[in-house]
Amino acid sequence: MRALTFVCCLNLLLAGFARAQDSLNVRFVGDWPFSWSHAVALDPARNLAFLGSGRGVYVLDIAGPADPAKVSEAIHTGAVVQDLAYQSNRLYSVGDAGLAIWDVALPSSPALLGSYVTPDHATGVAVAGSHAYVADGDSGLRVIDVSDPTNPMECGHYYRGTWEWSRRVAVVGSFAYVVDGRLRIIDVSDPENPQERGWCSVGSEDVAVAGNYAYVAHGSSGLVVIEVSDPESPQEFGDCNTPGYACGVALAGNYAYVADGTTGLRVIDVTDPSHPQERGYCDTPGYACDVAVAGSYAYVTDSSAGLRVIDVSDPANPQERGYFDTPGYAWGVTNVGSYAYVADYEDGLRVIDVSDPASPQERGYCDTPGKAQDVAVVDSYAYVADYDAGLRVIDVSDPANPQEHGYCDTPGKAERVAVAGSYAYVADYDAGLRVIDVSDPANPQESGHWDAPGKAEGVTAVGSYAYLADGGAGLRVIDVSDPANPQERGYHDTPGYACDVDVVGDFAYVADYNAGLHVIDVSDPANPQERGYCDTPGKACAVDVVGDYAYVADYNAGLRVIDVSDPANPQERGYYHTPDYAYGVAAANDYAYVADYNAGLQVCQFLGEGVEEVPDAEVRATKSGPTVVSGVLFLAEVSSHRPQATVLLDITGRKALDLHAGANDVRALRPGVYVIGAGPGLRAKVVKLK
């Protein structure tokens, strides 16, 4: 028999691009990864909708179409959800991390059963029998055996070099219909050896099949009907041009329902497939990209506008009956106590319970009329910099039901906000610094302002001074002892573009975009001087300083942790590549809360020096540091004369997973510390990040 030597490898693909999600001295703890909605699947028998939003899936109760209710937000996929399929209490999701299979028998507590990493970018999925068929970008059609959902395995695939990007797939009978710029008809009667039978030059976005016809959502050309009775010679049979961009299609009875981008839902009569005719439409507020139909209702994923429920009982006059709002792009964040408050761009303020950092949960939200950029929280009020809608004051005393209490419009674009005493200080872009009296939160009033030479991007207030990150004009120090008449006392021009600033003691820490972090001595407000800087690999957008560390939201380079104990020589001590673009950050104790754009809220923990995620790291049974792993734990075989059972144990000693030689998928495990056991006395520590 052979024992196991332990080798770990990072194996995570992230949405939008393939990038190793690595870290140094920082571990992933948890996330609330929701944003715009792109995919939907239904379980009509149980009145459930599964809504793919950002890097997660909402489970919704749709028994009351006027008011879809959230049942769960526990499905976190690790990549933007591109498509969903449902079959017999199992949900199949695809994205850049491949295929994942979820047990949704208990909708309030879904659980990951298994996953399979596909070679490219999975964007479409269909399930028939014991196989999942995945449209996998540049790698064509992948056929995955899901008879054992805990261990899905590829059994066949089909791809030819002439294919374009495989987008969507439908399966009927012995054939898979793949759109990749054309419609491809693949014989899957032998799943281990799929073969192309024919193709038609029409097919760009989505496909649904009924009888002898395939109905293709063909982008700017609308709906195209293709006769497929002869799979070797499919022929265009009819079409109906739509005014938008046909992204998704579903069939029910004699009608095709088309998600048509900016023009919402189009209802097309296909009784005569050679001459389809639009019968009615319902415009939606967002960008319609997918649709599913059950009974008298169409469920449309509307990007920034969430899920729209449309009554189609009268095809000539479809009417919206209800909706479920989903988050936007996480732009700014602050943390107070057990809550993180996220400025969520077009979707206002989201209140996230982070009392369990490994499992953040949304408690409530309050939409705002503008584009929420930043938030500060003092006592029971959240102050939101709402871009073209100025400053909004929101009562968050009841986190489940935040309500706007007052507002003050500003003349510019409210980018960031700081609150000190009875005043809110707003960085108002081309309108400089606005000083707003918030002593009466129901009626905030501007007290004074200062016209900045640059573009006011960030602000903090300490004592009698407001410190303004003024874009190309660097750091400006403003005396606000007289709120009605703020005056500049000094400035320091930084080499980059000052986006944000935090002040602790005698030092201002400036997130200077492409010039990293700059440390400015402001002990003499009239003469601020740079003491040191630390370049960052990305673009420093935001900064929060706690103790000896500056936490920097570094855009495409994620979270950077910089030791500023010596202001003249700041040094990076840790980092974590977040899934998307880090725009905002708030730190408390050892935790950092990152507003990560399309990946929502990411929660990380700085561990201090000495922990690193590296590929191909050998795990040894010694007292040296732990192996840090995300996604896949690899175990390599070595020869031995004695059989040894190998398991992964949690810190209580309970078995978490049986291990085998080769790749072990550990994405279903909660983040934490685990121990590998392989025979008496052999132990190796593993830190599971994600």
| Predicted pLDDT at 689 | 52
Cβ contact 492:467 at 8 Å: no
Alpha helices in 201-291 (DSSP H): none
Question: What are the pLDDT digits (tens) for 152-196?
Answer: 999 999 988 767 889 999 999 999 999 998 999 999 999 999 999
Q: Which residue type sits at 100?
A: A
Radius of gyration of the chain measured on its C-alpha atoms: 27
pLDDT at residue 65, as a whole number: 93
pLDDT of residue 623: 33
Q: In angstroms, rounded to a whole number, what is the distance separating the alpha carbons of residues 119 and 142?
A: 9
Q: What angle do CA 35, 37, 43 make, to 5 degrees?
A: 125
At residue 411 the predicted structure's pLDDT band, cuts being 50, 70 and 90, is: very high
- How confident is the model at residue 203, as a pLDDT? 77
Q: Cα separation of 594 and 138, whole Å?
A: 32
3-state SS assignment for residue 45? helix
More confident residue, 134 or 624: 134
C-beta atoms surrounding 641 within 10 Å? 7
Give yes or no for residue 76 having a pLDDT over 60.
Answer: yes
Cβ atoms 63, 47 nearer than 8 A: yes
What's the whole-number mean pLDDT along residues 247-255? Answer: 97
Can you tell me the distance from the alpha carbon of 384 to that of 393, in angstroms, rounded to the nearest whole number? 6
The mean pLDDT value for 479-483 works out to: 98
**Number of neighbouring beta carbons within 10 Å of residue 579:** 30
Tell me, what's the pLDDT at 654? 60
Q: Mean pLDDT, to the nearest integer, of 37-59?
A: 97
Q: What is the pTM of this model?
A: 0.84
Question: What number of other Cβ atoms are within 10 A of residue 221's Cβ?
Answer: 16
Domains and CATH numbers, the chain: 36-324 (2.130.10.10), 332-606 (2.130.10.10), 617-688 (2.60.40)
Note the pLDDT of residue 22: 67
Name the pLDDT band for 665 (thresholds 50, 70, 90).
confident
Q: Say which residue, 250 or 202, is predicted with more confidence.
A: 250
Query: DSSP secondary structure string, 403-437?
Result: EEEEEE--SS-B-EEEEETTEEEEE-BTT-EEEEE
Which residue type occupies 118? T
Q: What is the pLDDT of residue 38?
A: 95
Question: What is the Cα–Cα distance from 466 to 522, expressed in whole angstroms?
Answer: 12
pLDDT at 672: 65
Predicted local confidence at residue 21, as pLDDT? 53
List, in order, residues 6 or more apart from 59 with CB less than 8 Å away: 48, 49, 50, 51, 70, 71, 72, 73, 74, 75, 104, 107, 108, 110
Selection from 38, 178, 179, 45 nearest residue 105 by Cα: 45
CA distance 278 to 569: 67
Q: How confident is the model at residue 620 (pLDDT cuts 50, 70, 90)?
A: very low
Give which of 111, 94, 86 is closest to 38, Cα–Cα. Answer: 94
Check residue 180 and give its pLDDT.
93
pLDDT tens string 431-467: 999 999 999 999 999 999 999 999 999 999 999 999 9
* Segment 542-589, tens digit of pLDDT: 999 999 999 999 999 999 999 999 999 999 999 999 999 999 999 998
Region of 633 on the Ramachandran plot (φ > 0 left; ψ -120 to 50 alpha; else beta): beta
Q: Across the strands, what pairs with 122?
A: none
Nearest to 194 by CA among 116, 140, 122: 140
Lowest mean pLDDT, pick from 33-47, 299-313, 616-630: 616-630
- If you average pLDDT over residues 338-349, what whole number do you get? 96
Please state, in angstroms and as integers, the Cα–Cα distance from residue 356 to each residue in 32, 107, 353, 377, 597, following that order: 12, 21, 8, 20, 22
φ, ψ for residue 45, nearest 5 deg: -60, -30
Handedness of CA 114, 117, 118, 122 (dihedral sign): positive
Task: Read off the pLDDT of each residue in 642-663 and give the average, rounded to a whole number.
Answer: 64
Give 369's Cβ-side CA count (13 Å radius): 11
How far is residue 454 from each of residues 299, 458, 522, 545, 553, measured CA to CA in Å? 46, 12, 20, 24, 22
The predicted model gives 626-643 an average pLDDT of 54
Q: Where are the beta strands (DSSP E) in 152-273?
A: 153-158, 168-172, 175-179, 183-187, 195-200, 206-210, 213-217, 223-227, 235-240, 248-252, 255-259, 265-269
Query: According to the model, what pLDDT value does residue 686 have?
Result: 61
pLDDT class for 633, splitting at 50, 70, 90? Answer: confident
Token digits of residue 111: 């659980």
Q: How far is CA 618 from CA 185, 325, 625, 647, in A?
A: 45, 46, 11, 17
Tell me the helices (H) and strands (E) count for the chain, helix number first.
0, 66
Average pLDDT, rounded, for the chain: 90
- For the chain, how many residues are written? 690
What's the CA gap between 347 and 360, in Å, rounded?
18
What contacts 106, CB < 8 A, 6 or more positions away?
Answer: none
Give me the pLDDT at residue 688, please. Answer: 54
